[in-house]
Structure 1
Amino acid sequence: MAEEDFLELKFRLFDGSDIGPFRDPPASTVAMLKERIVTEWPKDKKGGPKSANDIKLINAGKILENNKTIEQCRTPFGELPKGVITMHAVVHVSLTKAKTEKKIDEASKKNGCACTIL
């Protein structure tokens, strides 16, 4: 594959900072991009993803599916041929995972013992 066929991508985070840009072949899948985001996530930022499943990628207002390639997700208009494609990377912890963690915290509080000496 020729070097000019590669797409230049960057990922915008919740605070307006970016990860990238990276050069990827159009055949790369969204799942592969999510894995890269997890490894490249800035260590000084709180609320980072624990796995690729915690990330939602958004391009042109659409949430991208893991099994789609970059080429399938590109919008055909509004992009310059040599321009950088910016995708939004949103950390989205699943609701069931958050509820489970909350129940564990609540259970540890209920099982605790408290003594009061007067």
Structure 2
Amino acid sequence: MPEEDLIELKFRLYDGSDIGPFQYLPTSTIGMVKERIVSEWPKDKKIMPKSANDIKLINAGKILENSRTVGQCRMPFGELPKAAITMHVVVQQSVPKSKTGNISL
């Protein structure tokens, strides 16, 4: 695939720092992108995702679904020069479901 077909993404973290930029095929899924973010996550951060399920990616004000592709999430910007698209990363660790039992009062 020609290099100009690749989509360059970088990811803005909660503290304003970035991961990337990395290049992806338009057919790469958001789930695959999240896996890479977890593997590239800086080790010195206070908040760290445990898995890709702990991450939400936001682009153009929308939370991206894991099954969508990078190509589907790219916003058409007309004739702007090629530049990395910045997506925001939110870490929301899943809370284990507690068993609810009968509570005696």
Matched, 1:47 2:73: no
One-letter identity of the residue aligned with 1:5? D
Task: State the shift of 1:36 in Å.
Answer: 0.3
Which residue identity is paired with 1:69? T
Gaps of 5+ in 2: 99-105
* CA 1:92–1:26: 2 relative to 1, 3 Å: same
CA distance in 2: counterparts of 1:42 and 1:26, whole angstroms: 25
- 2-side partners of 1:26 and 1:44: how far apart? 31
Higher RCO (C-alpha under 8 Å, 6+ residues apart) = 2
- The equivalent residue for 2:5 is 5
Residue pairs, 1:35-114, within 5 angstroms: 35-77=35-77, 80-94=80-94, 96-97=95-96, 100=98
Consecutive aligned runs of 4 or more in structure 1 exceeding 2 Å deviation: 77-81
TM-score, scaled to structure 1: 0.77
Question: Cα RMSD (Å) of the superposition?
Answer: 1.6
- The aligned amino acid for 1:77 is F
The one-letter amino acid paired with 1:34 is K
Distance 1:40 1:79, change over 3 A: farther
SS at 1:47 equivalent: coil
Query: Structure 2 CA distance, aligned partners of 1:14 and 1:25?
Result: 26
| 1: CA distance, partners of 2:79 / 2:87 | 12
Rounded Cα–Cα distance in structure 2 between residues aligned with 1:7 and 1:83: 9
More helix by proportion, 1 or 2?
Answer: 1
Instruction: Name 1:113's counterpart in structure 2.
Output: none
Structure 2 residue aligned with 1:18: 18
Q: Distance in 2 between matches of 1:70 and 1:79?
A: 19
User: What's the offset of the Cα at 1:78?
Assistant: 6.8
User: Does the residue aligned with 2:15 lie in a helix, a strand or coil?
Assistant: coil
1:57 maps to a residue whose letter is: L
Structure 1 gap ranges (5+)? 101-118
